Amino acid sequence: MALLNVSFACSPHVSNPHPRYSCSLSLCPTLQVPKKPRTAPRNLILLSLGESASKASLLALLSASLFLADPALAFKGGGPYGQEVTRGQDLTGKDFSGKTLISQDFKTSILRQANFKGSKLLGASFFDADLTGADLSDADLRGVDFSLANVTKANLSNANLEGALATGNTSFKGSKITGADFTDVPLREDQREYLCKVADGVNPTTGNATRETLLCN
pLDDT tens, 28-85? Answer: 454 454 555 555 555 544 445 555 555 555 445 444 444 333 444 444 443 333 444 7
Q: Where are the domains of the chain?
A: 83-216
Q: What is the CATH number of domain 83-216?
A: 2.160.20.80
Indicate whether 8 pLDDT > 60: no
Query: Cβ distance 144 to 121 under 8 Å?
Result: yes
- How far is it, in rounded angstroms, from Cα 206 to Cα 77? 26
CB atoms within 10 A of CB 134: 31
Q: Is the pLDDT score of 205 beyond 90?
A: yes
**Each residue's pLDDT tens digit, 97-153:** 999 999 999 999 999 999 999 999 999 999 999 999 999 999 999 999 999 999 999
